[in-house]
Amino acid sequence: MATVEGRPAQYGVTLRQLRELMESRGAEGLAKINALGGPQEICKKLYTSPTDGLSGSKADMQHRREVFGSNLIPPKPPKTFLTLVWEALQDVTLIILEVAAVVSLGLSFYKPSEDEEDIAHLDEEEGHYQWIEGLAILISVIVVVIVTAFNDYTKERQFRGLQSRIEGEHKFAVVRANEVKQVPISEIVVGDICQIKYGDLLPADGILLQSNDLKIDESSLTGESDHVKKGEAFDPMVLSGTHVMEGSGKMLVTAVGVNSQAGIIFTLLGAAVDKQEKEIKQMKKEAKKQQKKGAQTQSQRKSLTGDDEGANSHGNHADNHVAPADKPAPESGHKKEKSVLQAKLTKLAIQIGYAGSTIAVLTVIILVIQFCVRTFVLDGKVWKATYINNLVKHLIIGVTVLVVAVPEGLPLAVTLSLAYSVKKMMKDNNLVRHLDACETMGNATAICSDKTGTLTTNRMTVVQSYICEKLCKVTPNYRDIPKEVAETMIEGISVNSAFTSRIMPSQDPTAPPMQVGNKTECALLGFVVGLGQSYELVRERYPEESFTRVYTFNSVRKSMSTVIPYKGGYRLYTKGASEIVLKKCAFIYGHEGRLEKFTRDMQDRLVRQVIEPMACDGLRTISVAYRDFVPGKADINQVHIDQEPNWDDEDNIVNNLTCLCVVGIEDPVRPEVPEAIRKCQKAGITVRMVTGDNVNTARSIAVKCGILKPTDDFLILEGKEFNSRIRDANGEVQQHLIDKVWPKLRVLARSSPTDKYTLVKGMIESKAFDTREVVAVTGDGTNDGPALKKADVGFAMGIAGTDVAKEASDIILTDDNFSSIVKAVMWGRNVYDSIAKFLQFQLTVNVVAVIVAFIGACAIQDSPLKAVQMLWVNLIMDTLASLALATEMPTADLLQRKPYGRTKPLISRTMMKNILGQAVYQLFIIFSLLFVGDRILNIPSGRYQEVGAEPTQHFTIIFNTFVMMTLFNEINARKIHGQRNVFEGLFTNPIFYSIWIGTALSQVIIIQFGGMAFSTAGLSVDQWLWCLFFGAGTLVWGQLVTSIPTRKIPKKLSWGRGQPDPETIQPGPDYDSDLDKKPRAGQILWIRGLTRLQTQIRVVNAFRQGLDSRGSLADAALAEALRKQTALSKRYSANASVDYGELAPPELDVERLSSHSHTETAV
């Protein structure tokens, strides 16, 4: 018989039995467990120990993975490089260019016999060169496609890396070889014993071995929003993807990965997708047949105008079937709006798309009409086949004007800037889960921060204690405390704290010991150690399994109580916020350990003389108390019982307690926080503290941080008073009442998570001021989820935060530090500015190139800038410039200005002044060179040339000057707020100057050696100096433009003021901007290839592998569920359900399921 590490290789229970076991609930589940012999017997069958767990040896783990599967759901393989190349080739404008180039290439070899006399007139050389332009365009198309595909490929890999980093952060407490270890969830196997606690997101299916007051949110599976009570005696089944809302316990893992309940559902989804994809391909074939019958014109119109609403890149009718599924069902207002910047950019790109298309079409029409009139009417020539070549040339010029007109570099600039920032922000301890959060953070006007751990160090120590009427400001001597009181207190602290909280010796002997688990509990355990006692010995005497009942800490109780068997009866220990625990105390130990009645007067005196002074020093005050239930004769502070008390009657059980001690716990303010808050205030961001602590503690910390100054006239409210001020007589929250409170509120103490949510919602929805608030919130607890989701940007704590909080957040602070939020603000503002810089640069080039091509076509029947030249300019201004301008590092002066807010125009008056000012200069120079340049520079004119003629120095100088002006204007574009010194910080960005120098050198090579391919003729040194002179002139001209006072410019010239149009802000998951939601719908041009990076849709949603919003998914509801599979998507729908008929339970909420971190890459 085969063995693994000395045990049989055959398990006593099969994979199928375990799968079936997990499909039942409640009494039915219990019956099935008992049929297998009960939880202990199942442990034996799986060769694991309920107390020691698995051995953790490699051979054992590997064998379990082979038999029961590993805790991973395999992601769909990424698209291959060739697939990405094929996709990049699908763009309609790209196809038009390819066809035109091929026709041009073909015609250059076509020499009909009747043309012989004409050809004789042509220079013998010219015939050889006619094919070069067509080939050059084809080659540039190929380059563009390969670069696009490569960009897509690397971005997808990068974002998969980010995803695996987020998943790698998720670890879970597992007992192995009698030690609790934090193990990555992918390494959990069947047979593992996991410790589960408040705030956990369960990584696998299992059965409970032991539990305390356990309540689980199963809405992700059932759609039921009520929390389900779990216990080994009545409902021991716990499932992956569900959240622990209260309590703690131990579970035996029985199903992982694709065999868990969540995994089974994902597998069904995956199968459904594959089936749908086959149907889509079939539909596309049919649609193409229909298209040939007359839908082509519509398809092109959509592609050229950037119609974002309709079909996908091919304009297929099949894709309209998916319309209802593409727009997620309106959920109860929890989905965030599309980010402000996206909405403005989408609108801008569409408008420029329309303008560009119009001018392109006009250019072609004018060129064709002029050619026809001149050739057939004025010269009276007869139609010949070779004239097709002329018409194709005109078409190529028209398409190229369109290529240059449309700023397809915009999505690239946004993506590059965000991707670059996200990478850098990781080093600044910001793990960004949703890309747009990074940019939104730059507009933040308010931050609502927690106190503990964010503003403070979260390393807590007991610094004051009040025991037996003795107040000590240092750790007291254990012998000085009456023996009975001391022993009871030590026992109470050791037993009545989560067994996951403990003090560990530090690896560095000079450093203080490590605190593991809840920091407040660690402070109390540290106090026990400081008294020279061992909490571990007490815990060995009372293991968790022996507890009768545990009332775990939650935000309503603000205390924790544990009941243990004691001398034939029971003893209840309680610890919690002083004012709450003391109200439940009827007795207290007085001088020398005498038991005294705790009267109302004594309570008031204790609060006044002990608790308030502690709180005013910024200490958190905790009281420890107990109560005995005895079967025999009861003392004054004990309760006589004949039978087991009703533990569910919590109010009566946790009452008439005996107070043992009050301790003051210090959590010092982080040294860097006051400076960070000062920076925020300077940057126009209001910081508010929202804490569960008592109002005096909160005030003290707020003053130390600099949120409050002693002289300020700001509000400090407790949760109760806050609620009484914002609710009307019926108890309903009223916006106009909130508007009276929030502007002056700085500290909200003793607040519940609901208060936090109400405040955030009230601020975001407030219209009390012209500038709407953009609110960031920090949170760490399970109950902070709603506030984190509601906020414009939610920050979760990486160290202290629960899994639930991290799931709800946009950014995870890996060091839990407030000053990291300030760095996020800086990066966010930098993203906004980078995009503005790129816009300022690109729109100048667009305006000039389009006007030059259009007027050239009208005036001299030719575009001074040839097709290949314009493609090169487009390459410079789109790809390279967006890379150069999007990678500027943030500077401290970003925090010197007020936030832009929701209503700031995208293109400010200063930017518009720069764009128009530079365009005037460039157009003046180019037209001067075009019409009189040949005379000034004493060179032959290049105007009115025949098709296929040699390139002239005249037109080469125009092209070169235009590129030089563009390059020097790129330096101007680095400043958007009217700064004079455009060179400041130039050498801090190696990417910028490397690209700039590289582009300049490429230009020299193109001019001197480009020949027929680029329609250039080599220039002399004098001519080069003229070009450089005109180029550098843009820097001087820029200084003149800066001198014009912006105030004098009419406000109408700023663009994008006010809230963007509602139709552009559709609620949608995450960062698929309308620009890119349907890949290539707004991709107005071929070179989107180069720039697209599949922009947001595939970059940000690289993990939505199976879901392609282009696909026509027959079942709209299924499509809706699949859309939600995006791993980095906001999740808050409690009820969006998907009906699979026979496949799965009818009320299956796939969205909440997908929040399961380790299954995020499922579909």
Q: Is the pTM of this model over 0.85?
A: no
SS3 476: coil
The pLDDT, as a whole number, for residue 313 is 34
Rounded to 10 deg, the angle between the 387-405 and 818-860 helix axes is 150
**Distance, CA of 442 to CA of 1052 (rounded, Å):** 25
Q: Which residues pair with 207 in a beta bridge?
A: 237, 252
583 vs 421, which has greater pLDDT? 583
pLDDT at 334: 38
pLDDT of residue 1154: 36
Secondary structure element (H or E) that encloses residue 574, with its range: strand 569-577
3-state secondary structure of 778: strand
Q: In the prediction, which pLDDT does 254 show?
A: 93
Contact between 1095 and 412 under an 8 Å Cβ cutoff? The reply is yes
Structure tokens belonging to residue 6: 């000395």
Q: Find the range with the poorest average confidence among 373-387, 641-655, 784-798, 925-939.
A: 373-387
696 or 901, which is more confident? 696
Q: Are 1152 and 219 in contact (CB under 8 A)?
A: yes
DSSP track, 164-223: HHHHHT-EEEEEETTEEEEEEGGG--TT-EEEEETT-B--SEEEEEEEEEEEEE-HHHH-
Q: At what angle do helices 92-108 and 387-405 cross, to 10 degrees?
A: 150
Distance between CA atoms of residues 114 and 82, nearest Å: 45
Q: What is the mean pLDDT of residues 983-993?
A: 85
228-230/446-449 β-pairing: unpaired
**Banded pLDDT at 77 (limits 50, 70, 90):** confident
- Nearest-10 crossing angle of helices 435-442, 340-372: 100
**Side chain identity at 548, as an amino acid letter?**
T
DSSP 1155: T
- Cβ 673 vs Cβ 705: under 8 Å: yes
- Tens of pLDDT, residue by residue over 412-440, are 667 677 777 887 888 888 888 877 788 78
The residue among 2 and 469 whose pLDDT is bigger is 469
Measured CA to CA, the distance from residue 314 to residue 286 in angstroms comes to: 13
CB atoms within 10 A of CB 101: 24
CA distance 608 to 326: 61
Catalytic residues: 450
Which has the minimum average pLDDT: 46-50, 620-624, 1120-1124?
1120-1124
For 814-832, give one letter per residue: b (16+ CB within 10 A) or e: bebbbbbbbbbbbbbbbbb
pLDDT, tens digit, 9 for 90 and up, residues 503-543: 888 878 887 888 888 889 999 999 999 999 999 999 999 98
Q: Give every CB contact of residue 658 below 8 A, 6+ residues apart in sequence.
A: 585, 586, 587, 588, 589, 595, 625, 626, 627, 637
**Minimum mean pLDDT among 656-660, 773-777, 1157-1161: which range?**
1157-1161
Name, of 585-589, 1085-1089, 1099-1103, the range with top average pLDDT: 585-589
Separation between Cα atoms, residue 659 and residue 224, nearest integer Å = 41
Helix axes 867-875, 818-860, angle to 10 degrees: 170
Task: Summarize pLDDT for 314-351 with one digit per residue, the tens.
Answer: 333 333 333 333 333 333 333 344 566 666 777 777 77
What is the rounded CA–CA span in Å between residue 738 and residue 774? 16
Asked if pLDDT for residue 105 goes beyond 70, the answer is yes
CA nearest 571: which of 483, 645, 651? 645
The label of the residue with tokens 């487009």 reads 874
Q: CB count, 10 Å around CB of 1148?
A: 23
> How many Å separate Cα 280 from the centre of its chain?
30
Q: What mean pLDDT do residues 364-368 have?
A: 86
Q: Which helix (H) or strand (E) holds 254?
A: strand 243-255
864 vs 130, 755, 929, 943, CA distance in Å? 18, 66, 10, 8
* pLDDT confidence tier of residue 1080, bands split at 50, 70 and 90: very low
Residue 1069 has pLDDT above 60, yes or no: no
pLDDT of residue 463: 92
In single-letter form, the type of residue at position 576 comes to G
As a whole number of Å, the CA-based R_g of the chain is: 36
Which residues neighbour 916 within 8 Å (Cβ) at sequence distance 6 or greater?
847, 1053
Mean pLDDT: which of 776-785, 922-931, 1152-1161 is highest? Answer: 922-931
Beta strand pairing call for 657-666 and 585-589: parallel
Q: How confident is the model at residue 72 (pLDDT cuts 50, 70, 90)?
A: confident
Residues 503 and 702: beta-carbon distance below 8 Å: no
Q: What is the pLDDT of residues 703-756, one digit of tens each?
A: 989 999 888 888 899 999 999 999 988 889 899 999 999 999 999 998 888 899
Quick check: 574 pLDDT over 90? yes
The encoded tokens of residue 1006 equal: 């193109």
Q: Of 29-38, 289-298, 585-594, which gets the smallest average pLDDT?
A: 289-298
Report the C-alpha gap between 1062 and 771 in whole angstroms: 17
DSSP string, 1013-1058: TTT-----HHHHHHHHHHHHHHHHHHHHHHHS-GGGS-GGGSBS-S
From CA 84, how far away is CA 639, in angstroms rounded?
75
Q: pLDDT band for position 1116 (50/70/90)?
A: very low
3-class DSSP string for 1048-1091:
HCCHHHCECCCCCCHHHCCCCCCCCCCCCCCCCCCCCCCCHHHH
Q: Which long-range contacts link 80-85 to residues 24+ away (Cβ below 8 Å)?
A: 81/149, 81/150, 81/153, 84/148, 84/149, 84/152, 84/153, 84/1094, 85/145, 85/146, 85/149
Whats the size of the chain, residue-wise?
Answer: 1163
Q: Determine the pLDDT at residue 611.
A: 92
Mean pLDDT, rounded, for 457-471: 89
CA dist 1122 and 1108 (Å) reads 9
**Which stretches of 214-260 are DSSP H helices?**
219-222
Q: Cα–Cα distance between 414 and 842 in angstroms, integer? A: 13
Task: Please tell me which of 114-118, 125-129, 1044-1048 the model is most confident about, judged by mean pLDDT.
Answer: 1044-1048
Phi-psi region of 1011 (alpha: psi -120 to 50; beta: other; left: phi over 0): left
User: Above pLDDT 90, what percent of the chain?
Assistant: 23
Beta strands (DSSP E) in 631-756 are: 638-640, 657-666, 686-690, 715-718, 745-749
Cα 181 to Cα 1084: distance, rounded to the nearest angstrom: 54
- Letter for the amino acid at 704? K
CA contacts within 13 A on the Cβ side of 893 = 6
Only one residue has tokens 């003290």, namely 700
Whether the CB-CB separation of 240 and 262 falls below 8 Å is answered with yes
Q: Where are the alpha helices (DSSP H) in 496-630?
A: 519-530, 535-541, 578-583, 600-606, 612-616
**Calpha distance 943→855 (Å, rounded):** 13
Taking residue 848's Cβ as centre, other Cβ atoms within 10 Å add up to: 25
